[in-house]
Structure 1
Amino acid sequence: MTPSERRELVQRLALTPRGPILNPQTMQRIRKWRLVLILLAVAVLIPWTVYLGNTLPDHYVARNWVATWVGFDSLLLAMLVATAIAGWRRRQLLFPFAFATGVLLICDAWFDVMTSQRGDDLLQAILSAAFLELPLAFVLIAGPLRLMRYVAIRHGLIDPDVRMWRVPIPMPELWPDRNPQVVDQDSGL
């Protein structure tokens, strides 16, 4: 069989989710409104960032400094543990846990460097970011992305030549004819 014939066979034989699913029109409407919400957030965040850049003081004494950093590091620890457990047990929850943990590590590196005092404190923050936090963040973000692509290739959803940023989200356009429990969000059926 050719790769496209295998992909077509896998899609025809693929299991469908149990229970009701949304019809394609409702899913498209939800997708559209989520994109509108994200674009509105972008439109609001741009002037807000400019405003903060012009109005925030250069020096500020923060309340709850210890609780903030201990809380952040506790969240980072919990995400690292969840990522390790999902990886150990080979669960797909590894993907969002690892990605979120990588983003938290990037944030940690950024705030460590930006809030450090000049001298040894700043040097330690830069070295920690360069040799620990950012490389680990890269592994935690890039690894699951490559694994997601591998899963899509392995299950015949995409050609091996397709790059990660071109991997589509599988949509249930073909499900309604195989699953009679399609839900129309508007009609309640």
Structure 2
Amino acid sequence: MLPEVPSPNDPHVRHMRRMFLAVITGSFLFLIPWIAYLSVSLPTRRTVSNWRYAWVGFDAALVVAIGITALCAWRRLQIFVPWAVATATLLCCDAWFDIVLDWNSNELTGSIVTAVAAELPLAALLLYAARKMFRLTVAVAWRRAGRQGPLPPLSRLSLIALTGHEEPPQAAQPEHQDGRRRGHDEPPRGPDDGRGDQRAP
């Protein structure tokens, strides 16, 4: 039994959507001046005492993410898609901070080589696989929803295009035995209509 898909016109769904849009849009607008403030207020140098724990903790989280992503891939689970995206994001962050924080040190060459040879290619592979699997899943849902024609690009596919809430095409009207279609206002024919008097004498 397929789960019930809430209608986009449901008041609760519309309320939650408005709240989500308000939060995500407000966060975007807030971060723009915040980044400008940080760019002029943060010091260029700072000594920290937990540097080792910060990087060990980050790399531990990265190892866990890679391990879960690999496990999901081996078991062919749909949750592989978000885990692959999250792991790719962590890899890109790792490459960024390695290069930026080692910019004026003797370790810059090693950071660039690691980023170019390992972190960024692995991130690109995970993003490619996630996009491929997501598109295949959407293609299956597209066909099962009765959609015709090629699947549109994911960047243009509506969130509710596969829920079945859009008005389906009008069903074909039944035909008479003589090949004509019955109109909506045409009464059904009786056994004697148009055939003369067939009553028994």
Aligned position for 1:145: 131
Alpha-carbon deviation of 1:44?
A: 0.9
Aligned position for 1:164: 154
Map 1:81-96 → 2, pairs under 5 A: 81-96=67-82
Q: Matched residues in 1 for 2:127 and 2:13: separation?
A: 28
State the TM-score, normalized to the length of structure 2: 0.71
Q: Matched residues in 2 for 1:139 and 1:31: separation?
A: 33
Q: Is the 8 A contact 1:76 1:105 kept in 2?
A: yes
Higher helix share: 1
Q: Alignment partner for residue 77 of structure 1, among 55, 63, 72?
A: 63
State the TM-score, normalized to the length of structure 1: 0.76
Map 1:26-175 → 2, pairs under 5 A: 26-116=12-102, 118=104, 120-155=106-141, 156=143, 159-170=149-160, 172=163, 174=165
| Partner-residue secondary structure (3-state), 1:91 | coil
Q: Is the 8 A contact 1:79 1:101 kept in 2?
A: yes
Listed as ranges, the gaps of 5+ residues in structure 1 are: 1-14, 175-189
| Partner-residue secondary structure (3-state), 1:162 | coil
Alpha-carbon deviation of 1:23?
A: 4.9
What RMSD in Å do the two structures reach over aligned CA positions?
Answer: 2.2
Bigger radius of gyration: 2
| Partner-residue secondary structure (3-state), 2:107 | helix
Alpha-carbon deviation of 1:119?
A: 5.1
Q: Matched residues in 1 for 2:24 and 2:90: separation?
A: 21
The total of aligned residue pairs comes to 159
Q: Matched residues in 1 for 2:139 and 2:20: separation?
A: 28
2:152 is matched by which residue type in structure 1?
V
Q: Which has the higher contact order (CA 8 A, sep 6+)?
A: 1
- Aligned-residue identity in percent: 32
Q: What's the CA shift string for 1:58-104, capped at 9, x where partnerless?
A: 10112211110000000000000110011110001101100000000
1:57 is matched by which residue type in structure 2?
P
Q: Is the 8 A contact 1:146 1:164 kept in 2?
A: no
Q: Matched residues in 2 for 1:96 and 1:70: separation?
A: 24
Q: 1:54/1:23 Cα in 2 relative to 1: closer, same or farther (>3 Å)? A: same
Alpha-carbon deviation of 1:172?
A: 4.5
Q: Is the 8 A contact 1:106 1:134 kept in 2?
A: yes
Q: 1:147/1:167 Cα in 2 relative to 1: closer, same or farther (>3 Å)? A: farther
